[in-house]
Chains A and B, each alone.
Chain A
Amino acid sequence: MTADALNPGPAASLLGLDPAMVTQARELARRAGQPIVELARTHTTVSVERAVLRLAGLDGADDEGMPWVNLLAEAVRESAGLEHGIALPAWDALLTGGYPSLPALAAAAAAGTVKFRIPEGRDAAAATGAARAALAAGFARIDARRAERDAMISATGDPPKPWIYLIVATGDIYEDIPQAQAAAREGADVIAVIRSTGQSLLDYVPEGATREGYAGTYATRENFRLMRAALDETSRELGRYVRLTNYASGLCMPEIAALAGLERLDMMLNDCMYGIIFRDINPRRTFIDQRFSRQVHARAGIIINTGEDNYLTTADAVDAAHTVVVSQLLNEFFAREAGLPDGQIGLGHAFEINPDVPDSFLLELAHAQLVRELFPDAPLKYMPPTKHMTGNVFAGYLLDAFFNLAGVMTGQSILLIGMMTEGIHTPFLADRDLALENVNYVRRAAGGLAGSFRPEPGGFIARRAQEVLGEAVGLLSRIGDEGLLTAIGRGTFGVTRRPADGGRGLDGVIARAPGYFNPATEIMDTGTEGPGEAR
């Protein structure tokens, strides 16, 4: 052990982690997650089916703003059911009914003038072929967007890590744009547009540019497009590619993932359990939607951000440290299973230990370094203190500096910048400027510290990290025994209990019938064409 620490090879653990225990942890995560994957492979949801239509190019809404994909999916569900997937009945109706386009079919379906059926024989073959062609064109658009990103990064330059992650959230996309551009000019590498708080529970994606939101701006395709175009302009101006982030979460997770791929968003919040725990969305609905979403993200070259930091806002950051690691291992398993390479798995964690706790900074370092070593190739997203920001802005500024220091010492990849006015108000312009001054000082003064950070073998930090990993293995073992859905129902994560049949959106979960056909998953399951393979 001592010899290893003195001569750390590329894979050697500074924390003296037992490689066998790390392997065991991943194996236990696989055991806990595999039944969920089976659930996702044998079921679909209304939002997965709507995402198929969106990938095929169906956009727009009726006069009341209800998207055509919702109206078409509802009409199909009522007459033919969605057990066979939407593609067979929809493209069958399109071909046999002589509609010129999907929007025309959707309008007729909404008016109640289309009778859908599950086609057989030659009709089924025709519908299947037409749907496959439509989806192939959709994925070609996503592939083109991905190539476009690569070209932009080559042309403008990729900022060094850690990337500085800043949030805008005015509710009005036309206010968000100048704020985002200003933040990028001040040093932000990643801009996140916080979503309107109501959106996660909407079972449709709003249309068009929006100027009204609550505590955030609606995620719509047009808002995505407007913001990405503005940041492209700023990226060229700065000679640095500025990434754009939004949320593939809530009841429309698969559709938003599709829109993100079509409009070249770069990162998406996409946690395997966040919606369950914090938005009371049905666990089955979430897991099924999530697998499809992650397949889309994998294809589109989008980095997912997971939300483990949120557990520590309800649970104690020391007592529940191992639940963060357990969730990360589960998120990693689900992400890899859906085809995401490690470089696109932005696992989350947070600096949320009560500063009154003795050795709190050592504990933070232990947790942050543990995550860094467990997931060496993941673009880890490290979240600043929120729970112990008291309104004392001076103390808060100091705490944020310690967060920034822990971030650079342990080689975190993405730093969400802490605001000293956290919990008081929407950050003032000056709060953001001071926050950037803080992180820029720490990077300048201590950016190289990670190379010299060598926790004492067998010392406090190493022992704490080993302890958390051991607790994580113990919890994963229990979850494997009782089943993940049961564990969630018992309040294992975020000390919130969410039963498998509770929450919103369960009525949108549909068991697949024999002969279920989904041309999008067909392409993504094989998923070997296109630039998605290269990484």
Chain B
Amino acid sequence: MTTASAGQSLSGPERASQHSDQDRKIVRPYGDTTGDGRVQLSFTLPVPYGTSEQRARAEGAALQLAAKMGMDPAMVVHAKGMGPDFTFFIVYGRVAHLVDLSEVIVAEREFPLLPAAEINLRIRSALGRKLVVVGACIGTDAHTVGIDAILNVKGHAGEKGLEYYREMRIVNLGAQVAVPDLVARARAEQADAVLVSQVVTQRDAHLNNTREMAAAFRAAGPPQPLLVVGGPRFAPGTEAGLGVDKIFGKGTGPGEVASYLAHALAPASAKAAAPPGLTSDEGARREGGASKRPEHELNSTAGAGGSGGR
């Protein structure tokens, strides 16, 4: 938005709207000029693209969709028939929509990322015993790569998994665990936390399985372990609807999960706070970790029906 005040010449009405937009932190898509609202879009319509009459009709259909989506004017820059029944379009155009930055809500992480040494220390101080984590893929989901990347000592992308944490005891039940078995095992192990990985999303399997699990733990009564689910297609902020304590999405590494477990189950007390400088090589390793490759994404291709399972 500094461009307008920097004195770039805009036409009268544009300039006026820019100023008022700026006051309200309003922005529009940027093509090559501030406020031009230009966007690109590609999609397929189930219409033929054979004869010249069909082509004209198909492009008209594409423009109608673009107009209804708020693109005005819109231009079909590419159209290609795919087989006898479908046409692929690339459309460029201008949208009239305004984005009010003051209305954007960002979910902030409610816990700090901690080095492994500090997590271990906090568990020792707060619990006086090992923190027990039971992990599984439930339902028909056989994609253990994600849960393995979080739990196995090897971890992922140089970030050690939860087995690496001395003060955690990890029970990895593997793939296709039935919910009643998971509940029974979690109780037998006196689990503090249950970690469930759900990659397959067909027919909302990940949501249904998660709800089923949460209901089963509730039905089993106390003590209730912390319920944590992870997978590439969970929407953030849907914990309450699914009946779980925490959802981790795409891009989560073991360090973030461990930090959350420490935050939720072993809150810091004054005496437990790690002295500065304690962060040894364990801590150093965390640094790039949080932004490293997502563990669930590894196998999300199969879950999404891509080239996975190959």
- A186 close to B44 (CB less than 8 A): no
The yes or no answer to A210 lying at the interface (CB within 8 A) is no
With the chains together, A280 CA to B137 CA distance in Å? 12
Q: Check B140–A214 contact: CB distance below 8 A.
A: yes
CA distance A200 to B137 in the complex (A): 14
Bound-state CA distance A215–B176 (Å) is 14
Partner of A314 from the list B141, B149, B300 (CB cut-off 8 Å) is B149
In the assembly, what is the distance between CA of A340 and CA of B237, in Å? 53
Contact A495 B200 (CB under 8 A): no
In the complex, A428 Cα to B304 Cα: how many Å? 11
Pick the residue among A170, A197, A384, A424 that contacts B142 (CB under 8 A).
A197
Partner of A424, one of B144, B293, B304: B304
The answer to whether A423 and B309 have CB atoms under 8 Å apart is no
List A contacts of B88 (CB < 8 A).
429-430, 433-434
A170 to B185, CA, bound (A): 34
Q: How far is the CA of A216 from the CA of B306 in the complex (A)?
A: 10
Q: Is A278 positioned at the interface, with any CB of B under 8 Å from its CB? A: yes
CB distance from B291 to the nearest CB of A (A): 13
Chain B's closest residue to A350 (CB) is: B310
Q: How far is it, in angstroms, between the C-alpha of A99 and the C-alpha of B88 when the chains are bound?
A: 60
A182→B143 contact, CB < 8 A: no
B140: which of A169, A192, A197, A430 is its contact (CB, 8 Å)? A197
Q: Does B148 contact A (CB under 8 A)?
A: yes
Q: With A314-B298, A497-B152 as known contacts, state yes or no: A197 contacts B200, CB within 8 Å.
A: yes
B44's closest neighbor in chain A, by CB?
Answer: A430
Residues of B within 8 A of A504 (CB): 174
Residues of A within 8 A of B82 (CB): 186, 429-430, 433
Is B83's CB under 8 angstroms from A186's CB?
yes
Residues of B within 8 A of A247 (CB): 309
Return chain B residues, CB-CB under 8 Å to A169.
305
Asked whether A265 is an interface residue with its Cβ less than 8 Å from the other chain, the reply is no
Contacts of A430 in B (CB 8 A): 42-44, 82, 88
Quick one: given A278-B144, A433-B88, are A496 and B152 in contact (CB under 8 Å)? yes
Q: Complex: how many Å from CA A185 to CA B86?
A: 14
- In the assembled complex, which residues on chain B have CB atoms less than 8 Å from the CB atom of A307? 310
1/0 contact string of A390-413 vs chain B (CB within 8 Å): 000000000000000000000000
- In-complex Cβ contact of A428 among B44, B80, B143, B293 (8 A): B44
The verdict on B307 contacting chain A, using a C-beta distance below 8 Å, is: yes
Interface string of A171-193 (1 = CB under 8 A from B): 10000000000100110000010
Given A186-B82, A433-B82, A495-B154, check contact A427 B306 (CB 8 Å): yes
Partner of B307, one of A170, A416, A496: A416
Closest chain A residue, CB of each to CB of B85: A182
User: Residue B299 at the A interface, CB < 8 A?
Assistant: yes
Q: Which of B154, B174, B310 contacts A280 (CB 8 A)?
A: B174
The answer to whether B279 has its CB under 8 Å from any CB of chain A is: no
Interface centre among B141, B143, B200 (most CB of A within 10 A): B200
Residues of B within 8 A of A421 (CB): 306
**B306 in contact with A426 (CB, 8 Å):** yes
Q: A423-B297, A426-B304 are in contact. Are A201 and B142 (CB under 8 A)?
A: yes
CA distance A497 to B154 in the complex (A): 9
Q: Is the CB of B309 within 8 A of A185?
A: no
Which B residues between 150 and 173 are near A, CB-CB below 8 angstroms?
A: 152, 154, 156
CB distance from B119 to the nearest CB of A (A): 23
State whether B306 touches A313 (Cβ < 8 A): no
Residues in B whose Cβ lies below 8 Å from that of A279: 142, 144, 175
Question: Is the CB of B301 closer than 8 A to any CB of chain A?
Answer: yes
Residues of A within 8 A of B148 (CB): 496
- Among A215, A310, A314, A387, contact of B202 (Cβ-Cβ < 8 Å): A215
Q: Is B93 in contact with chain A by the CB < 8 A criterion?
A: no
Number of interface residues of B (CB under 8 A): 44
For the complex, give the distance between the alpha carbons of A324 and B212 in Å.
Answer: 40
Task: Annotate B283-310 by CB proximity to A: 1 below 8 A, 0 otherwise.
Answer: 0000000000100011111111111111
Q: Is A425 an interface residue (CB 8 A)?
A: yes
B145 within 8 A of A: yes
B44 x A280 contact (CB < 8 A): no
How far is A68 from B308 in the complex, measured between Cα atoms in Å? 32
A309 touches B297 (CB 8 A): no
Residue B205 at the chain A interface, CB threshold 8 Å: yes
Measured CA separation A280–B298 after assembly (Å): 17
Q: Are B175 and A280 in contact (CB under 8 A)?
A: yes
Given contact pairs A186-B83, A433-B80, A197 touches B307 in the complex (Cβ within 8 A): no
User: Could you say which residues of chain B place their CB within 8 Å of the CB of A503?
Assistant: 174
Q: In whole angstroms, what is the CA distance A427 to B308 when docked?
A: 12
Q: Which residues of chain B are near A433, meaning CB under 8 Å?
A: 80, 82, 88
Residue A484 lies at the interface, judged by CB distance under 8 Å to chain B: no
Docked Cα-Cα span, A398 to B229, in Å, equals 34
Least CB separation from B176: chain A residue: A201
Partner of B309, one of A195, A280, A491, A497: A195
Contact A197 B310 (CB under 8 A): no
Q: Kindly list chain A residues whose C-beta atoms are within 8 Å of the C-beta of B202.
A: 171, 213-215
Expressed in whole angstroms, the minimum distance between the Cβ of A345 and any Cβ of chain B is 17
Given contacts A313-B298, A423-B301, A430-B82, is CB(A384)–CB(B307) below 8 Å? yes
A423 touches which of B80, B205, B300 (Cβ 8 Å): B300
B167 CB to nearest A CB, Å: 21
With contacts A182-B83, A387-B298 taken as known, whether A214 is within 8 angstroms of B307 at the C-beta atoms is no
Contact mask A204-235 → B, CB, 8 Å, 1/0?
A: 00000000011110000000000000000000
| Interface 0/1 of A305-331, CB less than 8 Å to B | 001011001100000000000000000
Contacts of A192 in B (CB 8 A): 310
A278 near B174 with CB under 8 A, answer no
Q: How far is the CA of A182 from the CA of B84 in the complex (A)?
A: 10
Q: Which residues of A contact B175 (CB under 8 A)?
A: 201, 279-280
- Point out which of B42, B82, B301, B310 has the most chain A C-beta atoms below 10 A from its C-beta: B310
- Asked if A383 is at the interface of the complex by the 8 Å CB criterion, the answer is yes
Contacts of B308 in A (CB 8 A): 194, 215, 386
Scan residues 195-212 of chain B and give those whose CB is less than 8 A from a CB of chain A: 199-203, 205
A419 to B142, Cβ gap below 8 A? no
- A200 neighbours in B (Cβ, 8 Å): 142
Check A167 against B142 for contact (C-beta < 8 Å): no
Whether A280 contacts B144 by the Cβ 8 Å rule is: yes
Q: Please list the residues of chain A having a beta carbon within 8 angstroms of any beta carbon in chain B.
A: 167, 169-171, 182, 185-186, 192, 194-198, 200-201, 213-216, 247, 269, 278-280, 307, 309-310, 313-314, 348, 383-384, 386-387, 416, 418-419, 421-430, 433-434, 491, 495-497, 503-504
Binding site for A on B (CB under 8 A): 42-44, 80, 82-83, 86, 88, 140-145, 148-149, 152, 154, 156, 174-176, 199-203, 205, 232, 293, 297-310
Q: Which 6 A-B pairs have the closest CB atoms?
A: A198-B140, A426-B305, A169-B305, A430-B88, A433-B82, A495-B154
A167-B305, A429-B44, A496-B148 given; 17 more Cβ-contact pairs under 8 Å: A170-B305, A194-B302, A197-B142, A197-B302, A200-B142, A201-B176, A214-B141, A214-B203, A215-B201, A278-B144, A310-B310, A386-B307, A423-B301, A429-B88, A430-B44, A496-B154, A497-B154
A-B contact pairs, 28 of them (CB 8 A): A167-B305, A171-B202, A182-B83, A197-B143, A197-B302, A200-B142, A201-B142, A201-B176, A213-B202, A215-B200, A215-B303, A215-B304, A215-B305, A314-B145, A314-B149, A314-B156, A386-B301, A386-B306, A387-B298, A416-B307, A416-B310, A421-B306, A423-B306, A424-B304, A426-B305, A427-B305, A429-B88, A491-B154
